[in-house]
Amino acid sequence: MEGRKQGSWFMMDNTYTIQHEISPGGSYNTGDMHEFEITADNTALITIYEPVLADLSSIGGPSEGYLLDSIFQEISISTGEVLFEWSAHSHVPVANTFWTTELCRDDSNSAFNGCGHHEYSAFDFYHLNSVEKDEQGNYLICGRNVHTVSYINGQTGEIIWNLGGPSNEFQDLSDGGATNFTWQHHARWYEYGRGISLFDNGGSTIESASESRGMIIDLDIDRRTATSRVSYYHPQQMTSLSQGDVQILEDTGNVFIGWGRSAAITEFSFEGEVLCDARFGASVYFAFGPVTSYRAFRHSWVGKPTTQPSIIVVDDSIYVSWNGATEVSKWQLEGADEDEDEDGQDLEFDIISQSFRDGFETEIRISTQDQYAFVRLVALDAEGGVLGISEVIECDIGIEWITPMMIVIITSIGMIVGFSATLAIAAALYRRRKRKQEVRNDYELLTGGDILDGEGRAARSLMIPGG
C-alpha cells in the first residue's frame, strides 16, 4: 500500500450499518491506517503519524529537520476520550533507525520516504505498524524501521524491554534465528507472556530479501532469552517487501498468513505443513504491488446487508450478486406477466426456477419458454428462508429471449425457403419458354396475310411443305 493512508475508522454491525466513527483525540486531525485493534476492554487502539521538528544530524540529515513521529492512542469507543498516548520520538533514539536518507526524496507525493527537510517530507525513522494491549494493561508494539518489537508500560509509557534491533535485550538461543527479523509487521502475543508471533518481511522497498516468513518466538521474560519455535515460509519462496500478518486460529491452532504486498494467503498446521495456499493477484506483479492486502484474517462472519441483490439481464442469462451476503444458498428466479400491472407494482410472481449460488456472481440461464414481462430474484438460505429480494426488472421478451441455436435454425429455414422459391421460378420460366417454342414449330402464318372467316375472326392456314 503506497502512500500515507490517513482518515478515521468506522465500526459496522453485520448488516454493514455504521455504529461508530472513531477519530484521533487531541490536536491530531487524522489517524493512520496501520493499526486499529479493539481491546478486551472494548476500547480502540489506533496509530497516528505526525511530522515534528527534530535533530536528524545523527543520521546525516538536517539538525533542524522534520521527523515523522509514530504515535498510538487508546480511545474509548463510546465517548472518544483518549485513555493513553505514546510517542516513539519521546522514547526511541533517531539513530536506532535502519531507514536510510540515501534514497530519500523531498517530495510531497513520496510517503514514508522523505528526507526530513520539510514538514511534507518528514523522515520516517520508526514506522509503527502494530499495537496490542495485554492482560497486564501494557502494550506490545512493532517498529518496522528499527527492526524492534517493544513492550510498553501502560501507566508510564516507559519501554519495559526490546526484542530485536539495536536495543535488543534478549539472548538468542537459536543462533540468531529468533531476533534477526527485519522490516517486520504485526507483532502479537502468543500464549501471553510465553511467546509472540510476527511477520518477518526480511526486506523492504529499499532492501530486498531472499524470503519472507511468519514466526513464532518463545520468550523467557525473566531470563531475557528468545527461541525460534517455528518459521513459516511460502512453498514458492515468497518475498513480501511490505505489509503482512500472522494469525493463530483459535479453533484449530493452525497458522494463517497474509503475505502483504504479495497477493497471497497460506494456512499452515502449527508444525508448518501447508494446508491451503491461494492467490488473489498474478505472482509476476508481486514485486510491484498493484494488488495487496495489508492484513488477511480468517474468521467466522455472518453478513446480512440491508441492500438489495444486484441483477442484470444479458441476452438469455440473468447475472446476480449480493455484496456482503454470506448466507445465500440458492437464487429463486420469479416472473410476472405484463398484463397484471402496467407499472410493475403489486405483481403476482410465479416461481420459474432455483439455482445454487455459484461464487460471488451467479449466472442463471433463462428458458425460452419462460417469457415473462417482469422478473426478480429471491435470495434463499439453506433452509429455504427468504433473505432478500432484488429489484423487479422488465424483460424484452423478443429477440433477447431467442437463443443462438434458434437464430441458426431460423436463418437456415429462411435460406432453404429462399432457395426453393428461386428454383420454382426458374422452372416455371423454363416451361413457359418451352411451350412457346412448340407453338412456333407447329404453326406458321400465311404469306398472303390474314384471312377472315365469316365471323370476321382471323384465320390461319396450315402451310403444306413444298406447296
Q: What is the pLDDT of residue 440?
A: 52
106 confidence band (pLDDT: 50, 70, 90): confident
Q: Residue 233 in contact with residue 248, Cβ under 8 Å?
A: no
Q: Could you tell me which residue, 120 or 434, shows the higher pLDDT?
A: 120
Quick check: 462 pLDDT over 70? Answer: no
Q: Closest Cα to residue 162, out of 143, 175, 177, 186?
A: 143
Which of 401, 420, 451 finishes a domain?
401
Q: What pLDDT score does 273 carry?
A: 98
Question: Could you tell me if residue 303 is inside a domain?
Answer: no
> Among 352, 373, 401, where does a domain finish?
401
Task: Specify the pLDDT at position 207.
Answer: 73
* Range from 68-72, 81-85, 298-302, 449-453 carrying the lowest mean pLDDT: 449-453
Kindly report the average pLDDT of the chain as a whole number: 87
Say which range, 6-10, 85-89, 449-453, has the weakest mean pLDDT. 449-453
Task: Compute the average pLDDT of residues 359-375.
Answer: 86
Q: How many domains does the chain have?
A: 3
Question: What CATH number did the domain enclosing 347 receive?
Answer: 2.60.40
pLDDT score, position 433 = 66
- Is 129 within the bounds of a domain? yes
Q: What percent of the chain has pLDDT over 90?
A: 70
Question: 203 and 182 in contact (C-beta within 8 Å)?
Answer: yes
pLDDT tens digits for 415-455? 776 667 677 666 666 666 666 565 455 544 434 444 344 44
Residue 375 lies in a domain: yes
More confident residue, 416 or 191: 191
* Residue 102 pLDDT: 82
Q: Residue 147, Cβ neighbours under 10 Å: how many?
A: 23
Classify residue 305: in a domain, yes or no: no
**pLDDT on residue 395:** 77
Cell numbers found for residue 289: 504491488
**Model confidence band, residue 461 (pLDDT cutoffs 50, 70, 90):** very low
Question: Where does the pLDDT of residue 206 fall: very low under 50, low under 70, confident under 90, or very high at 90 and above?
Answer: confident
Q: In this structure, which long-range contacts are made by residues 148-154, counting pairs with CB atoms below 8 Å and at least 24 apart in sequence?
A: 148/96, 149/184, 149/187, 149/196, 149/198, 152/86, 154/84
Q: Report the pLDDT averaged over residues 295-308.
A: 97
How much is the pLDDT for 450? 44
Q: 213 and 130, same structural domain?
A: yes
For residues 97 and 128, the answer to whether their CB atoms sit within 8 Å is: no
Residue span of the structural domain in which 339 resides: 310-401
Q: Give residue 309's pLDDT.
A: 98
Task: Kindly tell me if the per-residue pLDDT of 16 is higher than 60.
Answer: yes
Same domain (yes/no): 115, 255:
yes
Q: Is residue 420 part of a domain?
A: yes
Assess whether pLDDT exceeds 60 at residue 401: no
pLDDT of 3 above 60: no
Looking at the structure, tell me whether residues 73 and 168 fall in a common domain.
yes
pLDDT at position 294 is: 95
**Do 84 and 156 touch, CB atoms closer than 8 A?**
no
Domain identity same for 281 and 351: no
Looking at the domain assignment, is residue 181 inside a domain? yes
Q: Note the pLDDT of residue 438.
A: 56
423 and 392 within one domain? no
Q: Are 397 and 409 found together in one domain?
A: no
Least-confidence region, from 228-232, 273-277, 349-353 = 349-353
Q: Is 260 part of a structural domain of the chain?
A: yes
pLDDT digit string (tens) for 326-337?
Answer: 999 999 999 998
Kindly indicate the confidence band of residue 4, based on its pLDDT and cuts at 50, 70 and 90: low
Q: 375 with 421, same domain?
A: no
Q: For the domain that residue 269 is a member of, what is the CATH number?
A: 2.120.10
Q: Are residues 60 and 138 in the same domain?
A: yes
Looking up cell 469507543, which residue turns up? Answer: 77
Q: Are residues 32 and 77 in the same domain?
A: yes
**Residues 231 and 380 occupy one common structural domain:** no
Q: Are residues 95 and 219 in the same domain?
A: yes
Inside any domain, residue 301: no
C-alpha triplet 147, 150, 156: angle, nearest 5°: 145
Instruction: Report the range of poorest mean pLDDT among 2-6, 40-44, 360-364, 380-384.
Output: 2-6
- Cell numbers 461464487 correspond to 359
Does residue 245 sit in the same domain as residue 276?
yes
* pLDDT value of residue 432: 63
